[in-house]
Amino acid sequence: MKYTPEDEILIEEKWQELQDECRKAKVCKREDDWLFVKRAFLLAKEAHKGVRRRSGEPYIIHPIEVAIIAVREIGLGKKSVVAALLHDVVEDTEYTVEDISRIFTPKIASMVDGLTKMAGVYKNDTTEQAEYFRKVLLTLSDDVRVIIIKIADRLHNMRTLGAMPRNKQIKITSETIYLFVPLAYRLGLHAIKTELEDLCMKYRFPEEYEEIRRKIDATKTEREEYIARFIAPIREVLDRNKFQYEISARVKSIYSIWNKMRRKEIPFEEVYDLFAIRIVFKALPFPSEKTQCWQIYSCVTDIYTPKPDRLRDWISIPKSNGYEALHSTVMGPEGTWVEVQVRTERMNDIAERGFAAHWKYKHASITQEEDGLDRWLKRVRDALNSPAENALEFLDNFKLSLYKSDIVVFTPKGEPQSLPYGASVLDFAYEIHTKIGDHAIGAKINHRIMPVTTLLNSGDQVEVITAENAHPKAEWLDAVITSKARQAIQDHLKREREDNINYGMELLRTRLEEHNVLLSGRVLRKLMPAYECRNKDELYSKIGAGIISLDNLDKLLKENSSRKILKFWKLLIPGMEGEAQSDDVDDIDFEDDSATLDDTLPDVSRSDAPEFVMAECCEPIPGDNVVGYRDPKSGVIVVHKSTCDTLIRLAAQSGENIVKEEIKWSQQKAVSYLATVELSGVDRPGVLLDLTRLITTDFSINMRAMNIHSHDGIFEGTISLYVQDIVSLNALLDNIRHIKGVDRVKRLLNT
């Protein structure tokens, strides 16, 4: 299909826009540079000739837009512009990486190759998926620009997502939230991270997005008047002290407002920190930037009283993504808390443009000390040295390294160590060295002996205590959050499990031979239920580890346990009609054969409605917005709440299994669904009686469990209820709020 004259005009306009951005950013300094970029544009235009995107526009517009984002919004250079223009050529046309190397340079070919491999991250086959992702990370650890261009590519795709069908939108937004948003954060691309989050919300939850956007617009005039009053005295004192500065107000993103509303169960009107004041100033050669930031902070706090526990000093110790600033929350006019951010122009450039600006300033400075980004890239390389075999595990472990909040702790010698918020002694130990983590038995935190599972706080001084005979335990996995620690523990447990399996199998074989019995599937089917093991590897492992003793083996072999076996397998396989017939235990089908619940679950219009089950991770009830995920093994459609974190992960990793049709709740039959509510308040005699009377008598709702405890005059706990839908649950919650003493009640969201 040929391009129309209108198409050609659009292409020429976009190409001119890219050239203008390159001039502004001084990307092309010589005529040869311009020819280099133009050659990439002409090749991409020819390669994608006649091809259109789903939106209908010429395909070449997409790589031009990606190149514009790379220059204007990130600040990348000439090679990145060329790679952005060519990023889909090898994947979608007949050109090869070798062609790119010959026409341009081996470096450009390497970048394009990395971008082409990145396109295969979400392959259906998990083995392929893991291999592709490792290749991408190898490229990342070699040249971070590849990932940055891919983030620019994802940003333009998100900006044009409206042309995609609903199931594709769910898959792409899930991938974006699951991986690209944390990556953008880690690389310091704050503005892009925020836009990606807002775009994800716009397409996943359009009604909530529009409602918050409308309310932000409705309060604009009142907010601007308040900001003007707040800023006026600050301007006066900064002018008096002859600072060169710009002061502005940034409204909180729609996504972050929505997240806060969900997390705290509050309406929009109760989100008080809708905006932050930002002071960006031109730093003088002397005194230091740090000193000048504190001088401005002092000017602000001379006017407005600061909140002591809300001071954030990311100048002395920057965030691990390179972010530097002073944040303080002060009491403004009319009793309103306002956040004030103080940055130099350099700090602001890094905060907005991230990695590219970070390296520009780093290379311009005298010191070449290793910083947070350097350390993170080193961790990526370390992760590649011992990759997990399971692709999903590999993705999840890597994602843990994209944490958002940091703490800083100190070694016994006073060396700072950056860790994610929520890190434990074990995370710290493994960050120092794998051997220290493997043999940790405790720690001295601020000179007090504490367990290895203790969570650390910023400012803690930590000395790890080790013992040669200590080894990682399975429960350690619940106490770590860094990918390095988790991977090391998993590797040890895997090796230990393999050793136990081999030893246990040989031990069982030897003991059976003492009774003249050969190890077989028939024998294993007797022993597995008797020892409460679900498969033979679990049986072997427990025998090898000494958890299972074979002292009663003779008795088990002699007794007729067929009824016990059948009962056990029925527990494992709901709906199983009879005992497996094969002598080989490996041939037993372990898949769930759950009953059909069509008329009590989300309804579909076809007469041959598929089988649905409720997701246990988020426990949706009628009225919740839901999405269907077809289990690839059983074909059963698992119904998740649209906000469910598990759904986001599944959609990101296996988006082809998202059900295309919209799933709606059936109104045909009244059925009860389990919901859990969390509540707290001031304790008084009779409060529990009032609660139970309201639930069981006034609303005729059955309670599954109540767990309420009281201390120091305050009660708190949870109640599990069987409700018909979200409407009846919300009505109940509204009435509970009116019970004397109840301060807070909300549905517990398993997401």
Shared-domain flag, residues 314 and 220: yes
Residue 186 resides in a domain: no
For residues 641 and 625, give the distance between their C-alpha atoms in angstroms, rounded to a whole number: 6
Residue 32 resides in a domain: yes
Which of 94-108, 425-439, 578-592 has the least mean pLDDT? Answer: 578-592
CATH number assigned to the domain comprising residue 690: 3.30.70.260
Residue 177 resides in a domain: no
What is the reported pLDDT for 360?
Answer: 61
CATH number assigned to the domain comprising residue 472: 3.10.20.30
Shared-domain flag, residues 483 and 444: yes
Shared-domain flag, residues 451 and 317: no
Query: Residue 410: in which H helix or E strand, if any?
Result: strand 406-410
pLDDT tens string 222-281? 989 999 999 999 999 999 999 999 999 989 899 999 988 888 778 888 887 788 999 999
The answer to whether 699 touches 728, Cβ cutoff 8 Å, is yes
Contacts of residue 200, Cβ cutoff 8 Å, sequence gap at least 6: 158, 173, 176, 177, 181, 255
Query: What is the residue whose two structure tokens read 């937004």?
Result: 173
End position of a domain, from candidates 435, 454, 487: 487
Highest mean pLDDT among 13-17, 160-164, 666-670, 739-743: 13-17
The amino acid sitting at 217 is: D
Query: What is the residue whose two structure tokens read 């650390």?
Result: 456
Q: pLDDT grade, residue 587 (50/70/90)?
A: very low
CB atoms within 10 A of CB 264: 12
Question: Is 273 tagged catalytic?
Answer: no
Shared-domain flag, residues 14 and 159: yes
Residue 348 resides in a domain: yes
Q: Which domain holds residue 615?
A: 598-665
Q: What is the mean pLDDT of residues 577-601?
A: 36
Contacts of residue 662, Cβ cutoff 8 Å, sequence gap at least 6: 166
Shared-domain flag, residues 137 and 280: no
Q: pLDDT grade, residue 328 (50/70/90)?
A: very high
Annotated catalytic residue: which of 91, 131, 265, 396?
A: 91
Shared-domain flag, residues 467 and 612: no
CB atoms within 10 A of CB 474: 11
Residue 199 resides in a domain: no
Shared-domain flag, residues 252 and 393: no
What is the reported pLDDT for 343?
Answer: 95
Highest mean pLDDT among 29-43, 127-141, 164-178: 29-43
Higher pLDDT, 87 or 655: 87
- pLDDT above 70 covers a percentage of the chain that reads 81
Shared-domain flag, residues 521 and 639: no
CATH number assigned to the domain comprising residue 290: 3.30.460.10
Q: Which residues pair with 306 in a beta bridge?
A: 330
Tokens of 710: 């009281």
Q: How many residues belong to the chain? A: 751
The amino acid sitting at 6 is: E
Shared-domain flag, residues 579 and 690: no
Count structural domains, the chain. Answer: 6
Q: pLDDT grade, residue 482 (50/70/90)?
A: confident
pLDDT tens string 279-318? 999 999 889 999 999 999 999 999 999 988 889 898 988 8
Residue 47 resides in a domain: yes
Residue 619 resides in a domain: yes
Shared-domain flag, residues 500 and 648: no
Shared-domain flag, residues 43 and 156: yes
Residue 202 resides in a domain: no
Mean pLDDT of the chain: 81
End position of a domain, from candidates 364, 383, 405: 364
End position of a domain, from candidates 146, 163, 180: 163
What is the reported pLDDT for 291?
Answer: 95
pLDDT for residue 652 is more than 80: no
Shared-domain flag, residues 135 and 275: no
Which of 268-277, 472-481, 599-608, 724-733 has the least mean pLDDT? Answer: 599-608
Estimate the crossing angle of helix 562-572 against helix 521-530, to 10 degrees: 70
CB atoms within 10 A of CB 260: 17
Question: Is 91 tagged catalytic?
Answer: yes
Annotated catalytic residue: which of 17, 33, 57, 92?
A: 92
